[in-house]
Amino acid sequence: MTDSKQQLSMKDRARSLVGNQTSLLIIVMIVLAGIFTAFSNGTFLSTGVFSTILTDWGALILLAVGQTLVVISGGIDLSVGSTVSLSTVVAGYVLVKVMHLNSTLTGSAAWGPLAIAALVAVLTGLVVGAINAVLINVLKIVPFIATLSTFGAAAGFAIIISGGMPLQGPTDFTLINPIRIPGIDVQTCDTGLLSPMVILMMIVITGVGLFLHKARFGLYTYAIGSNAFAARAAGINVTRHTAKIYLVSGALSGLAGFYAYVRLGGGSPSSGAGMELYAIAATVIGGASLMGGIGRMWGTALGTLILFTVQSGLLMTGVSPDWKQIVVAILIAAAVAVQTLQKKNGAR
């Protein structure tokens, strides 16, 4: 074994390094970070910038986690961005219009209402997920069309419920601001990345990742995406499991809606607009196949980080943010091209 490994030529080694999705993603990250650092006179590496991006786009991680499950099962969920908008608006509506609270309530005094906002947002997401599950499993509509309808409907309801304007309510910005550890100088040790909400997201991605890779929930998700007929023949209740996946995706979109509420201090009907594209992008860049059966949670985590790197890099090098969509589009095309090449070469 060791002998044959030592006999690998440099070319083979390079190929196997590139053939491995994870190492390829890390190489892409390093190259991107290098380019941005060079063109931003080093300011790119300051955590302050990255933490701002993480705060602005943190909800995306939750959507990408849910999308990863959906994509591995062979489906797609286009409704996630609109679900963020709808759930954040419904949370805002309950706090502002039903409970008659306003934005003067801040700090820890807002925690009670925020807990209600979280509950309402997650429940709203679950409702959208349940509708997706019914459209796909009961009415047998393909996931692309089913979630395209809920994408439109959720965005519409978000505007109708909010009246097209943000519903400003109570919030606590310390939840999204970096945690200051007493006794540590911010100048020497920046904890800029770690806000309570970012920690929550890390827990979610780790937890869902464990269920995906170590538990039966994930095994069935892969099995259905790999060969739905075989999954059913093996006794798996494919309908029920698919429903669970869309419910999880919906609940995580609702949680992302709560994140958007906390960050903006209210429910804004446009807060999730366009996020589905980036959630799918993060998943695909992370190595998941839209054909189903393939994907890894840490791939998605790296895919999301690459998107953040692009976002903050363009910002720091002074390139117009309008270029972001184009760069993301190129990354998606490149990621799928790499997958196709790997399949051809028979690499894993």
In the list 293, 298, 317, 327, the residue contacting another protein (rule: CB under 8 A) is 293
In the list 103, 137, 226, 317, the residue contacting another protein (rule: CB under 8 A) is 226
Q: Scanning residues 12 to 71, which ones bind another protein (CB under 8 A)?
A: none
Give Cα 276 distance to the centre of its chain: 9
* Residues in binding contact with another protein, number by CB under 8 A: 24
Partnered with residue 266 across adjacent β-strands are: 168
For residue 181, what are its two tokens? Answer: 């550890």
Smallest distance from another protein to CB 137, Å? 14
In whole angstroms, give the CA distance from residue 198 to residue 126.
Answer: 22
Nearest to 132 by CA among 277, 243, 272, 238: 243
* Beta carbons within 8 Å of 2's beta carbon, 6+ residues apart: none
- Does 348 participate in binding another protein (rule CB under 8 A)? yes
In whole angstroms, give the CA distance from residue 90 to residue 127.
Answer: 12
Residue 124 main-chain phi, psi, to 5 deg? -60, -45
In whole angstroms, give the CA distance from residue 335 to residue 237.
Answer: 32
In the list 66, 75, 170, 225, the residue contacting another protein (rule: CB under 8 A) is 225
- Does 240 participate in binding another protein (rule CB under 8 A)? no
- Does 137 participate in binding another protein (rule CB under 8 A)? no
Smallest distance from another protein to CB 293, Å? 4
Is the CB of residue 308 less than 8 Å from the CB of residue 57? yes
Smallest distance from another protein to CB 287, Å? 13
- Does 7 participate in binding another protein (rule CB under 8 A)? no
Report DSSP state, residue 266.
E
- Binding string, 182-211, against another protein, x = CB under 8 A? ----------------------------xx
Smallest distance from another protein to CB 74, Å? 10
Smallest distance from another protein to CB 181, Å? 32
- Does 288 participate in binding another protein (rule CB under 8 A)? no
Nearer to another protein, 140 or 348 (CB): 348
In whole angstroms, give the CA distance from residue 117 to residue 91.
Answer: 5
In whole angstroms, give the CA distance from residue 146 to residue 155.
Answer: 14
Binding site for another protein (CB under 8 A): 210-211, 214-217, 219, 222-223, 225-227, 229-237, 293-294, 348
